Amino acid sequence: MTDRLPEHVRILVAEIETEIGESDDAARAAPIEGGGRLSHAALDAAGGARVEEAVRDILLEIGEDPDRDGLIGTPDRVHRMYAELTAGYHVDPDRLVNGAIFDVAYSEMVVVRDIPFYSLCEHHLLPFFGTASVAYIPRGRVIGLSKIPRIVEMYARRLQVQERMTQQIADFLNDRLGPQGVGVVVEANHLCAVMRGIRKPGTVMTTSAVLGLFRTRDRTRAEFLSHLQRPVSRG
C-alpha cells in the first residue's frame, strides 16, 4: 500500500504517475487510500529494520564487519535503494493514465523509440538496463505521448525478467486502448551475464511482444522494425 512507503519513494511514485504540467506538490500531498494508524515514519522504521538486519547478516556471511566505518550506513542505504528501485509495484495505473486517452481519427502507426530504463533481475537482484521501443496502431483512440515512458518505468521498477516486462508493456497498451495492434522491443544488458556466470561483457538481450496486426500481418511488423533501424534525428 502506498501509504506505507517511505517519503522519498512516495515522491518517486507520484513523479511516475503525475503528468508534466500537473502540480507535483499536489500529487505528492494527495491523500492515499487506506491510511493506517501508524505514521509513515513508524511504518518505514518497522519495515526498514527488517531489511537492514538482513543486510547486516549478508555482510557478516561474506566475512565483512558491518560496524566498520565504510559499512555503518550501508544497511540503511540498501533499504532505501531497494525501496526506490521497486517503486513500480506501488504505481496506480489509473493515476498514471489520468484520463490521457483521446478520441482521434488516426489509424497509422505510432512509435516511441529508445526509452531508457533500469530494472532488477529477479534471479540475482542485479541490474539490467537498456531501451524499450513501443508502437501501436490506434483504433480511434490514442494515449498521451509522455504516458508511454511512464508505463515502461512502472514495469521496470520491479523485480523482473526482461521477457515478462516486454509482455506487460504490450498488454497494458492493448487493454487500455483496444488498438489494432501493439509492438514492443526491449534491448538490455544484464549484469548477471557480465559480472558472474558466463561473464561476457557486451552481451545484449533482445525481446519482443507483438499483438494484433503486428502479429498477423508481416508488412506491419516489418514497418515497425524499419522504424527501429532508422537513425534518430537529434536536431
Annotated active-site positions, please? 121-124, 162, 190, 192
Give yes or no for a contact between 146 and 21, defined as CB atoms under 8 angstroms apart: no
> Is the distance from CB of 156 to CB of 168 less than 8 angstroms?
no
From the list 171, 9, 28, the residue with the least C-alpha distance to 95 is 28
Residue with cell 482521434: 104
> 79 and 52 in contact (C-beta within 8 Å)?
yes
Instruction: Please report, for residues 136, 214, 221, the alpha-carbon distance to residue 211 in angstroms, rounded to integers and kept in the order given.
Output: 9, 6, 10
